[in-house]
Amino acid sequence: MRGSLWQVGQSITRRLAHGDKKTVACRYFANEAELKRTVLYDFHVANGGKMVPFAGWSMPIQYKDSIMDSTLNCRENGSLFDVSHMCGLSLKGKDSVQFLEKLVIADVAGLAPGAGSLTVFTNEKGGAIDDSVITKVKDDHIYLVVNAGCRDKDLAHIEEHMKAFKAKGGDVSWHIHDERSLLALQGPLAAPVLQHLTKEDLSKMYFGEFRVLDINGVQCFLTRTGYTGEDGFEISIPSESAVDLSKAILEKSEGKIRLTGLGARDSLRLEAGLCLYGNDLEQHITPIEAGLTWAIGKRRRAEGGFLGADVILKQLEEGPKIRRAGFFSSGPPPRSHSEIQDEGGNTIGEITSGGFSPCLKKNIAMGYVKSGLHKAGTKVQIIIRGKSNEGVVTKMPFVPTKYYKSS
């Protein structure tokens, strides 16, 4: 699903409010029988989840509250997301770090055991195959999560290179965690509520760190991370225990943490200035152009050794021709592919994600423009439905992040 999930959610809400259930069912639910379901599907429906197709799965775009309210509640209290459509996998073997470093830009070897980072899988031209959160569990065990919409191509890509690596004597194997579900618990109440369900001291676990621990009596993979800009966790749990854990989290929060759908997740990640693969990050976009230079480890910048390194290291030295930038704008919220012009009416780029910010009460967007025109304060025109609307480049994140980091 390309474009703004927030906009899709608003469309569904409007149609349901006007009693247009037939159109909603036809437009958004026509392929329901063909879609995969997470183990939480019935739980979503029972709690008022409005299910839509997303990356081959039937997923909740929102619940009984509006996307605006869900977004605000995540920032004020907390949200629980089902992200089990995403693909978790483990790489094991004494050469697993060496193998993965051929495919991603991160300094995996430099990570301490139990530490993780956002990274990018690159192709031979330096473009992004996918973005992923990777964790070095131990020197011979890497845990990573890839996007649902990229699962098939990512796994094929990894498998192809793994076969070649092993043929040369490399020691690496993999396991795809289809037996597990993934929950994202986000917001200021995430840690205090989760603390009620585990004996581990979560105050000593910082952003990007990983633990294997018991939660609600079940062994889980816990990562202090998320994609909302808030403090929070991603919890990988055996699927048969996912519903019970979800209920326990909601009960311990006394109603303050709410089930939250993909619509609010999209507005939250946009407010945090985070890329959505397929919109803001694609096969033809490099990490440098996307503003992810920070994710390339210092050693990797010196040594390369990953696919497309020649292109990326050249961009590091000379600068890219285009850059991702954030925007405020007037008029209707910008949409993916809206044209960006300079004040003289010359085309300088296009919007990749946009919507109305529930927290800021104004339009926000991100997109790509020619280098030099990406600096904060640059005035632009954004073309929406043939009409020109004033905009200005602004720094991201739009809403300050609240990651739990060691002081």
Out of 228, 250, 270, a domain closes at 270
- The domain tally of the chain equals 2
Identify the pLDDT of residue 224. 98
Inside any domain, residue 237: yes
Identify the pLDDT of residue 20. 53
Identify the pLDDT of residue 27. 44
pLDDT one-digit tens code per residue, 233-259: 999 999 999 999 999 999 999 999 999
Mean pLDDT of the chain: 94
Q: Provide mean pLDDT across the span 21-49.
A: 77
Residue 134's identity, in one-letter code, is: I
Identify the pLDDT of residue 7. 55
Inside any domain, residue 339: yes
Instruction: Name the band, by pLDDT with cuts 50, 70 and 90, for residue 33.
Output: confident
Q: Residue 8 pLDDT > 90, yes or no?
A: no
Q: Residue 4 pLDDT > 60, yes or no?
A: no
pLDDT one-digit tens code per residue, 38-68: 999 999 999 999 999 999 999 999 999 999 9
pLDDT one-digit tens code per residue, 291-312: 999 999 999 999 999 999 999 9
Alpha-carbon gap, residue 197 to 214, rounded angstroms: 8
Inside any domain, residue 80: yes
- Domain boundaries, position 334: 321-399
Token reading at 30: 């026509």
Taking the model in full, what pTM does it have? Answer: 0.93
Identify the pLDDT of residue 5. 58
Inside any domain, residue 170: no
* Same structural domain, 226 and 349: no
DSSP state string for 197-260: T-SS-GGG--TTBEEEEEETTEEEEEES--SSSSSEEEEEEEGGGHHHHHHHHHHHTTTSEEE-
Question: Residue 212 sits in a domain of what CATH number?
Answer: 3.30.1360.120
* Same structural domain, 220 and 330: no
Token reading at 358: 């529930």
* Same structural domain, 183 and 62: yes
* Same structural domain, 74 and 183: yes
* Same structural domain, 264 and 183: yes
What is residue 159's three-state secondary structure? helix
Q: Is 234 annotated as ligand-binding?
A: yes
* Same structural domain, 352 and 226: no
* Same structural domain, 265 and 337: no
Inside any domain, residue 219: yes
What's the Rg (C-alpha) of the chain?
A: 21
* Same structural domain, 192 and 252: yes
Residue 351 is classified by DSSP as E
* Same structural domain, 187 and 263: yes
Alpha-carbon gap, residue 273 to 161, rounded angstroms: 32
* Same structural domain, 79 and 201: yes
Residue pair 253/185 in contact (Cβ under 8 Å)? The answer is no
pLDDT one-digit tens code per residue, 142-165: 999 999 999 999 999 999 999 999
Token reading at 220: 């889980």
Inside any domain, residue 261: yes
* Same structural domain, 253 and 378: no
Inside any domain, residue 301: no
Instruction: Name the band, by pLDDT with cuts 50, 70 and 90, for residue 407.
Output: confident
Inside any domain, residue 390: yes
* Same structural domain, 197 and 62: yes
pLDDT one-digit tens code per residue, 338-393: 999 999 999 999 999 999 999 999 999 999 999 999 999 999 999 999 999 999 99
Q: Residue 96 pLDDT > 90, yes or no?
A: yes
pLDDT one-digit tens code per residue, 257-266: 999 999 999 9
Q: Residue 191 pLDDT > 60, yes or no?
A: yes
Identify the pLDDT of residue 309. 98
Question: Residue 375 sits in a domain of what CATH number?
Answer: 2.40.30.110
